């Protein structure tokens, strides 16, 4: 993955959702066998939580 940024890295601005969130029902083509603790620990999607609800 490549992406451009316009400001320095700010850890407090990070957010994400769990790869296995049942709401999204993503059918991954291969079993997820290697995931970081950080990525495995993201919360389930909540439309009423920041940063999703504006």
Q: Look at residue 7 and tell me if it is in a domain.
A: no
Is-contact 33 40, C-beta < 8 A?
Answer: no
Residue 16 to residues 42, 50: CA-CA distances in angstroms? 6, 11
10 within domain boundaries:
no
Read off the pLDDT band of 50 (50, 70, 90).
low
pTM of the model: 0.60
Domain annotation covers residue 21: yes
Residue 5 within a domain? no
* Domain extent at residue 41: 16-28+36-54
Classify residue 49: in a domain, yes or no.
yes
Question: Is there a domain that residue 1 lies in?
Answer: no
What is the average pLDDT across 13-29? 88
Q: Residue 10 has what pLDDT?
A: 85
48 class by beta-carbon count within 10 Å (0-12 exposed, 13-18 middle, 19+ buried): exposed
Is pLDDT above 60 for 13?
yes
Mean residue pLDDT across the chain: 84
Q: Does a structural domain hold residue 47?
A: yes
Residue 48 in domain: yes
Q: What is the pLDDT of residue 52?
A: 56
The number of domains in the chain is: 1
């Amino acid at each position: 993955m490549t992406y451009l940024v316009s400001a320095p890295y700010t850890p407090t601005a990070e957010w994400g959702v769990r790869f296995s969130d049942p709401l999204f029902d993503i059918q991954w083509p291969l079993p997820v066998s290697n995931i970081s603790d950080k990525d495995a620990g993201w919360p389930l999607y909540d439309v009423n939580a920041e940063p999703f609800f504006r």
